[in-house]
Structure 1
Amino acid sequence: MIPQLYIFLGLLLFSLHGAPPYSAAAVNDTLLAGESIAVSDKLMSRNGKFTLGFFQPSVVSKSGNITSPNWYVGIWFSNISEFTTVWVANRDNPVTDLQLNQTRLKLSNDGNLVISSNASTIWSSATVANTTIATTMNTTSVVLANNGNLMIIGSSSTSNVSWQSFEHPADVMLPGAKFGWNKATGATIKYFSKKNLIDPGLGLYYFQLDNTGIVLARSNPAKTYWSWSSQQSSKAISLLNQLMSINPQTRGRINMTYVDNNEEEYYAYILLDESLNVYGVLDISGQLIINVWSQDTRSWQQVYTQPISPCTAYATCGPFTICNSLAHPVCNCMESFSQTSPEDWEVGNRTVGCSRNTPLDCGNMTSSTDVFQAIARVQLPSNTPQRVDNATTQSKCAQACLSYCSCNAYSYENNICSIWHGDLLSVNSNDGIDNSSEEVLYLRLSAKDVPSSRKNNRKTIVGVIIATCIASFLVMLMLILLILRKKCLHTSQLVGGIVAFRYSDLCHGTKNFSEKLGGGGFGSVSKGVLSDSTIIAVKKLDGAHQGEKQFRAEVSSIGLIQHINLVKLIGFCCEGDKRLLVYEHMVNGSLDAHLFQSKATILNWTTRYNLAIGVARGLSYLHQSCKECIIHCDIKPENILLDASFTPKIADFGMAAFVGRNFSRVLTTFRGTVGYLAPEWISGVAITPKVDVYSFGMVLLEMLSGKRNSQKVCIDDNSNQVAPFPVTAISKLLEGDVRSLVDPKLNGDFSLEEAERLCKVAYWCIQDNEVDRPTMSEVVLVLEGLHNLDMPPMPRLLAALAL
């Protein structure tokens, strides 16, 4: 229920960006019958918020300013520096430069609002017929209202509206506009996206409310990609208003309404603060976006977007593309494909997609030279595939695809062969939000688009030579380690560095690993004692490949550095296929046990706060004080150990990544633990130390509450509706009610000032954009009370990632 409610929020608030308006003084808010507006004239609402006139759309792209050759009549925000239209009359009937000087917008004698050039009608409201000229001349006028609604009204009463732009919208919904349908006539108010950034004509996507509920769909081909039942609407409105109150930019300034009676059903939203500039738009991509104007940044701020992922809309990137919702840009051509129309892509229309660089080899279907490239962790194409039942192996499935010239890809999963003919649509990368696919698509390519066999052979030879050199180096390194080990064992002492232990010694010291301290996917941890009575914890790594990777990562990271808030690696064992790591023993175990287990020692507030500072200092040291920046990649309570005095020690560096000081980020494989993962992990882009900052923020919330972030709690005292703790906690923070968030096991014994500070830090750490997160050194300063933070905004992806 909760994800749908977040999606539904976007439907209640819907930007068309264009060129700056033609420089001319505003007239007034009314146009009388027989009067007209030329290209240099304007109407302006009485409050000065909206202007109506002629405009020419334009957009600033990488190649410069692109301006449409056509003109339109529309309404835009008057007092916003970024030109933003909210309604367009002649969407599909533009005015050309040749027509412009003769074109007028006028209220005709028959009561219609008309755009005409000479004797030719370009657009008409076409709502009033069989009305006498005399009556119309005396009673009808056009008014641009303070809410941006353009109305044809009778002069005797402003309630006598014969036509209004709110009932004939473009792609934008303003406060006061209804989104719904008339039960008597069946008429619906439908919003259509625009074609591109310089063409406001009808695009491919629309949404409407009918007798079944809300529908978000593509028109050609007809495809519904999201819907919401009306039966759930009335009980959702209260929660939607609650959600709007979460964001400081909209809290107390917008009220959502839902009406369902015998005559009509509709949704609307009204402004409680008339100074707020807000609008919502059905974007070119088929995504609903809520925008609020920020006077501080003098730009539109996205308060919310729904669906959460810009890849959800059907075929939003066009054929032969991959959509990655966390990448920038989200749409990219598949390997060995290029943009079909770069001009369209530049103005925001990506639905034309991509085309092959090299034609396939279709001359002989039995001996095609084409090859396949694997695209992992993607949603398979949405167009229906052909199932090949007699292809019982992957090679046979590939051959089945090669036997058709029209086949462009195949998949082979669970012994099922599927091949796709024609365009490949809606191939979306796993983003962990609304797409968690682990499937593999095999894309058919011309052999000319991949390295030749000669190059491959050359690479193979070079690879063999490099591998031989590395192997020789490793052999020499192992000999050195053996010598060091013998010296260490003979003397039983080691001054500086780490000890290379014999496997038999560790078996003896741990009584054959009989006293287990813990375990997991990596292997097991056992308690032991060295000959000098030092108590140790021995991690025994399982799995030849993964164990080797973790072994090398730990030895090369924590084995080379020392810090009071990092666990100390005493030594290791590397005999045959056995990989073991020897650490100092932490008598108080891991943080998760004290936070989440009922029988564990309850950590008082002072201890918790000092733990937060200690972990922050440890991460700051890893990120900024080592020779290479070390990104831990798996910060969570299970990897924070506590010594006898409850000093925190960051442990488990098996997933650590290294970044040279001359670089800012590193490209590495997906790793970490669900619930603590930063959004950029899922996108496949290069990471920075800010992924650790995000994980640390999630840990802080768990330290504050004493419960898992995934645990759902009531949204408020008067509601039975629940949401994950981070979603409800920020609402309490913004309301100034941090006290209710603190672990009840503390019985109110805590510092409210420190709790508020910790909560603010946590939410700044888990911001969606890594740029908005602080560094760990900044976090240390804040937690130590040496620096202050403003109130954090609500992370937009938080709800989706937490569920």
Structure 2
Amino acid sequence: ASSASTETYSLSPGQLLAGGDKLVSSGGKFALGFIQIPGSDSKPSGSGGNSTQLRIWFNRVPKLTSVWVANRGGSPVTGAASPELTISGDGNLVIVDHGKVAWSTQAAATASNNRTVLLLLDTGNLVLRSASDVLWQSFDHPTDTLLPGATIGLDKVTGRSRRLVSSKNRIDQALGLYSMELGRSGVVQMLWDSSVPYWSSGEWNGGYFSSVPGMTARHLFGFTFVNDDREVSFAYHLLDETITMYSFLDVSGQRKVLAWHEATQNWATVYTHPTAQCEVHAACGPFTVCDDNAPTRCSCMKGFSVGSPEDWDLDDRSTSGCRRNTQLNCASISSGTMVGMADMFYAMPSVRLPYNPHSAVGHVASAVECEQVCLSNCSCSAYTFGSGGCSMWHGGLLNVKQHHQIDGASSGDGEILHIRLAAKEFRTRKNNNVVIILGAIGAGLNALGILVLIVVLRRTRRNKRYSETLDKIHGGSGLVSFRYSDLRRATRDFSEKIGAGGFGSVFKGSLNDSTTIAVKRLHGCYQQEKQFRAEEQCQNSELENQIPNSSWSCEGAGILARELPGLHHTL
């Protein structure tokens, strides 16, 4: 068999599409080829290497955007060898990996092999046909994307459903947990795990679905809705064919309509349903809190940590969610022997309560009784008690949403959820509080130490000034400057009066080195300073070699101080 060219517009019997080869639509809008998935979690254990998937993508959009994937539900193609796409002897399209068929269209082909041809249309529809007969087409097997002209719905005769299923994560387009389908009722629903509905389009009113008023924007789309005895189906088409736009079911569980914006070279969101991420069932996974107002919408509850950081990095949170840091102490309770501390409960205020509550059996009259009922059941992971009585949850807690206060007041929507945790989680919290308290005490002691050091230094400097003053008294002559506060302290606030003169009173004092001094305090200061200094000079001459030095201070009063050699000395 010969290999197809690097870029071809059809694939015929005997030709291969492998490696970097592409099958391109006639107008160049779409391309088909093999895409490698680095580090895919979908590959079988021990297979090694990267997985490879056959995909269709927008050929003219520089940002790789896949719209269809083959073999989503089967084992991916793995290993170093390149898989090959070809038309088999029975007329089916097959992927051959290591000589074995890894995927097949499994069409009831009746045409001979040499008349079958594979075409990729400019609508994005991959068609296997023989002459004018369509043997198989990708539009009958949508993945997570609904292209313009494609339909979702139900064949009421055969029971075959055309529905969208989200991808596992942003890289791997294996089957995810969210789906969107149109059933017999004629209403589009989004479901988690094919069983839990979380969004509905409302009924078709002849022009649009009643819960999707945005469909009235007729300048963008036209719609086709069919509901008869044979089928129920819905399709849309673009009124402006120059716009690149598509609808898909995102990994987040939201249905989005995106349009390519050439100026920014990125996709712009036109519609999103549900509009809020937290309205998607299990959007963040078990034991998480969803908050549409937070920078990171999903966070773990207290006592839990991210189950798989790798999955979270790829926007796959619904499966792993968060896991307990410490296992509950249930074994000893169920056996009737208490080993270690009993589990405790942590209150989460202002939250939307989890999905699927269970009412307590029997009459429960108080929150304390409700807690005890939950504690006695190892499978009970949380409880709440309110006007509706005692409600409990078993297993993983899903759909807990954080409510916020509005203008300082509670929104009124939130309730208090008590989640069950191991006692160790609370001891850790208390230990953290002790560390904080000890840290605060340590900081206080440090501050006190610094304060004491400052006081000691100030006293040391003051004593140094006294020493310098004494040195001047004993070693020099003339006036020495005292601070008023120093003399006040030396005389014990001028408490021991030993005489009086024409200009003031005389007080006995003592310096730090036990030197006794006589201090004369004037009744006034500036107007008598001249006479005071004259008296000082006179005393200096009369008492020369008897009283070595004197000092002057004027801080609110004139003061003359002299050393008093002994108690027998008089001034």
Length-normalised TM-score, structure 1:
0.48
2:418 aligned partner: 442
Task: Report the alpha carbon displacement of residue 78 of structure 1 after superposing the two structures with TM.
Answer: 1.0
Against the structure 1 CA distance between its residues 68 and 77, is the aligned structure 2 distance closer, same or farther, given a 3 Å change threshold?
farther
Q: Which structure features the higher share of helix residues? A: 1
- The partner residue of 1:96 within 65, 72, 78 is 78
Q: Which amino acid aligns with 2:275?
A: I
- C-alpha distance in 2, partners of 1:314/1:238? 22
Q: Map 1:3-18 to 2 at 5 A.
A: none
Single out whichever of 338-347 and 444-453 deviates more from structure 2: 444-453
Against the structure 1 CA distance between its residues 453 and 39, is the aligned structure 2 distance closer, same or farther, given a 3 Å change threshold?
closer
- Are 2:355 and 1:382 aligned? yes
- Are 2:63 and 1:82 aligned? yes
Length-normalised TM-score, structure 2:
0.67
Identity of aligned residues (%): 39
- C-alpha distance in 1, partners of 2:192/2:250? 12
1:37 aligned partner: 17
Contact 1:292–1:303, Cα closer than 8 Å, also in 2: yes
Against the structure 1 CA distance between its residues 239 and 334, is the aligned structure 2 distance closer, same or farther, given a 3 Å change threshold?
closer
Q: Map 1:447-466 to 2 at 5 A.
A: 447-450=423-426, 451=428, 453=430, 456=433
Contact 1:59–1:197, Cα closer than 8 Å, also in 2: no
Contact 1:409–1:420, Cα closer than 8 Å, also in 2: yes
1:218 aligned partner: 192
Against the structure 1 CA distance between its residues 58 and 461, is the aligned structure 2 distance closer, same or farther, given a 3 Å change threshold?
closer
2:129 aligned partner: 153
Q: Alpha-carbon deviations, 1:98-157, whole Å to 9, x = none? A: 342xx211122322111112431100111124x353xx413x2111001111011233x3
Contact 2:208–2:215, Cα closer than 8 Å, also in 1: no
Task: Report the alpha carbon displacement of residue 448 of structure 1 after superposing the two structures with TM.
Answer: 2.5
Against the structure 1 CA distance between its residues 262 and 362, is the aligned structure 2 distance closer, same or farther, given a 3 Å change threshold?
closer
Contact 2:154–2:183, Cα closer than 8 Å, also in 1: yes
Task: Report the alpha carbon displacement of residue 237 of structure 1 after superposing the two structures with TM.
Answer: 5.7
- Are 2:324 and 1:359 aligned? no
Q: Alpha-carbon deviations, 1:615-646, whole Å to 9, x = none? A: xxxxxxxxxxxxxxxxxxxxxxxxxxxxxxxx
* Structure 1: 5+ residue stretches without partners: 1-23, 61-66, 246-250, 465-803
- C-alpha distance in 2, partners of 1:454/1:180? 59
- C-alpha distance in 2, partners of 1:146/1:301? 22
Q: Which amino acid aligns with 1:218?
A: W
- C-alpha distance in 2, partners of 1:375/1:287? 27
Q: Map 1:589-604 to 2 at 5 A.
A: none
Contact 1:388–1:419, Cα closer than 8 Å, also in 2: no
Q: Map 1:618-629 to 2 at 5 A.
A: none
- The partner residue of 2:343 within 357, 367, 370 is 370
1:12 aligned partner: none
Q: Alpha-carbon deviations, 1:755-786, whole Å to 9, x = none? A: xxxxxxxxxxxxxxxxxxxxxxxxxxxxxxxx
Against the structure 1 CA distance between its residues 244 and 290, is the aligned structure 2 distance closer, same or farther, given a 3 Å change threshold?
farther
Against the structure 1 CA distance between its residues 218 and 436, is the aligned structure 2 distance closer, same or farther, given a 3 Å change threshold?
farther
Q: Which amino acid aligns with 1:31?
A: L
- C-alpha distance in 2, partners of 1:369/1:308? 42
Q: Map 1:74-473 to 2 at 5 A.
A: 74-91=55-72, 92-100=74-82, 103-129=83-109, 131=110, 133=112, 136-138=113-115, 140-155=116-131, 157=132, 160-213=133-186, 214-219=188-193, 222-228=195-201, 230=203, 232-236=204-208, 243=215, 245=217, 252-350=219-317, 351-362=319-330, 365=333, 368-414=341-387, 416-430=389-403, 437-450=413-426, 451=428, 453=430, 456=433
Q: Map 1:616-655 to 2 at 5 A.
A: none
Aligned residues: 418
Q: What's the secondary structure of 2:234's corresponding residue?
A: strand
Q: What's the secondary structure of 2:7's corresponding residue?
A: coil
Q: Alpha-carbon deviations, 1:671-697, whole Å to 9, x = none? A: xxxxxxxxxxxxxxxxxxxxxxxxxxx
Contact 1:169–1:189, Cα closer than 8 Å, also in 2: yes
Contact 1:56–1:68, Cα closer than 8 Å, also in 2: no
Contact 2:209–2:215, Cα closer than 8 Å, also in 1: no
Task: Report the alpha carbon displacement of residue 377 of structure 1 after superposing the two structures with TM.
Answer: 2.1
Against the structure 1 CA distance between its residues 431 and 32, is the aligned structure 2 distance closer, same or farther, given a 3 Å change threshold?
farther
Contact 1:389–1:417, Cα closer than 8 Å, also in 2: no
Task: Report the alpha carbon displacement of residue 233 of structure 1 after superposing the two structures with TM.
Answer: 4.3
Q: Which amino acid aligns with 1:234?
A: G
Task: Report the alpha carbon displacement of residue 428 of structure 1 after superposing the two structures with TM.
Answer: 2.1
Against the structure 1 CA distance between its residues 108 and 390, is the aligned structure 2 distance closer, same or farther, given a 3 Å change threshold?
same
Against the structure 1 CA distance between its residues 173 and 371, is the aligned structure 2 distance closer, same or farther, given a 3 Å change threshold?
same
1:73 aligned partner: 54
User: Greater CA radius of gyration, 1 or 2?
Assistant: 2
Contact 1:241–1:256, Cα closer than 8 Å, also in 2: no
Contact 2:201–2:210, Cα closer than 8 Å, also in 1: no
Against the structure 1 CA distance between its residues 46 and 458, is the aligned structure 2 distance closer, same or farther, given a 3 Å change threshold?
closer
- C-alpha distance in 2, partners of 1:112/1:413? 62
Over aligned residues, Cα RMSD in angstroms? 3.2
Q: Which structure features the higher share of strand residues? A: 2
Q: Alpha-carbon deviations, 1:654-711, whole Å to 9, x = none? A: xxxxxxxxxxxxxxxxxxxxxxxxxxxxxxxxxxxxxxxxxxxxxxxxxxxxxxxxxx
- C-alpha distance in 2, partners of 1:47/1:119? 34
Task: Report the alpha carbon displacement of residue 74 of structure 1 after superposing the two structures with TM.
Answer: 0.7
